[in-house]
């Protein structure tokens, strides 16, 4: 068995264990394989092991990889998730090539993604990125700004607001990991209580997926535990 398929099995076992511990069904958690910095051959191996959803951070690298996979495996439908920072002059290719964007933190970007989503494609799935660590992180909307942002994004015709995404500050203590994820979950529940039909809580990476699942993550974004250490980032 290849290293990647072996790693995918190990990650799946970790998800199963965390789901069991949280008394949640395994099927309530999906795995996004973060393939940034790894070549198309690595994605092809993961597809061979059954993985279908991939996350990418760097636009040009991602566009090349999406084209390479469409050429290599034209019959296999893959879901591509953009999970990197978005510059406003790069929204058009993101709107055209991706199925999901996890890193929307201001309305201007959402408006451009909606305007630029090509006719004939399904609405682009959106998670709002929330800055849960305050000043320690510059990415993401402030929690206090979320209700208004969510209301405005929900009105855009070519987007479908699915939920929240967060990248808490790296933390090795499981209790502290959980506290940060619990804060994200409260914001998610608050938006749902305000009437948004959300189903996606995108949180948890290789180092903290157990804590994220304990606090309700529905999608974990796993890179190095599947593909190995990255040599650049």
Ligand X SMILES: *Cc1c(COP(=O)(O)O)cnc(C)c1O
Comparison of 136 and 197: residue with beta carbon closer to ligand X? 136
Q: Rule CB under 6 A: is residue 223 a binding residue for ligand X?
A: yes
- Residue 110 engages ligand X in binding (rule: CB under 6 A): no
x/- track of binding to ligand X for residues 65-84 (CB under 6 A): ------------------x-
Phi-psi region of 25 (alpha: psi -120 to 50; beta: other; left: phi over 0): beta
Based on CB atoms, which residue is closest to ligand X, 23 or 56?
56
Stretch that binds ligand X, among 70-78, 130-138, 156-164, 218-226 (CB under 6 A): 218-226
Instruction: Tell me the window of 2-10, 43-51, 191-199, 219-227 that interacts with ligand X (CB under 6 A).
Output: 219-227
Can residue 224 be called a binding residue for ligand X (CB under 6 A)?
Answer: yes
Among 15, 167, 184, 214, binds ligand X (CB under 6 A): 167
Q: Kindly tell me which of 62 and 187 has the beta carbon lying closer to ligand X.
A: 62
CA 178 from chain centre, in angstroms, equals: 18
- What does the angle CA 181 – CA 147 – CA 102 come to, to the nearest 5 degrees? 55
Instruction: List the one residue from 8, 31, 36, 101 that touches ligand X (CB under 6 A).
Output: 36
- Residue of 12, 24, 206, 228 that binds ligand X (CB under 6 A): 206
Q: Is residue 172 within 8 Å of residue 135, measured between CB atoms? A: no
Distance CA 145, CA 53 (A): 29
Find the helix packing angle between 40-48 and 59-72, rounded to 10°.
50
Burial (0-12, 13-18, 19+ Cβ within 10 Å), 74: exposed
Rounded to a whole number of angstroms, the minimum distance from the CB of residue 194 to ligand X is 26
Smallest separation, CB 151 to ligand X (Å): 25
Q: How many residues in the shown chain lie near ligand X by CB under 6 A?
A: 13
Q: Is 212 in the site for ligand X (CB under 6 A)?
A: no
Q: Which stretch binds ligand X (CB under 6 A): 1-9, 110-118, 173-181, 217-225?
A: 217-225
| Residues contributing to the site for ligand X (CB under 6 A) | 34, 36, 57, 83, 167, 205-207, 221-225
């Amino acid at each position: 068995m290849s290293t990647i398929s072996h790693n995918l099995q190990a990650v799946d076992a970790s998800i199963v264990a965390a789901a069991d511990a949280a008394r949640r069904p395994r099927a309530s958690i999906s795995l996004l394989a973060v393939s940034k910095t790894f070549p198309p051959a690595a994605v092809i191996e993961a597809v061979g092991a059954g993985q279908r959803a991939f996350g990418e951070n760097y636009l040009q690298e991602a566009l090349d990889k999406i084209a390479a996979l469409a050429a290599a495996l034209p019959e296999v439908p893959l879901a591509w998730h953009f999970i990197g920072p978005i510059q406003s002059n790069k929204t058009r290719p993101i709107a055209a090539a991706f199925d999901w964007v996890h890193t929307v933190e201001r309305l201007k970007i959402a408006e451009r993604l909606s305007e630029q989503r090509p006719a004939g494609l399904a609405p682009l799935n959106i998670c709002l990125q929330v800055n849960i660590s305050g000043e320690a992180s510059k990415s993401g909307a402030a929690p206090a700004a979320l209700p208004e942002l969510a209301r405005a994004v929900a009105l855009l015709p070519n987007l479908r607001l699915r939920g929240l995404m967060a990248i808490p500050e790296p933390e090795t203590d499981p209790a502290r990991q959980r506290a940060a994820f619990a804060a994200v979950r409260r914001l998610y529940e608050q938006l749902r209580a305000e009437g948004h039909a959300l189903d996606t809580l995108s949180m948890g990476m290789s180092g903290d997926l157990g804590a994220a699942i304990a606090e309700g993550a529905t999608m974990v974004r796993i890179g190095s535990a599947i593909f190995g250490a990255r040599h650049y980032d």
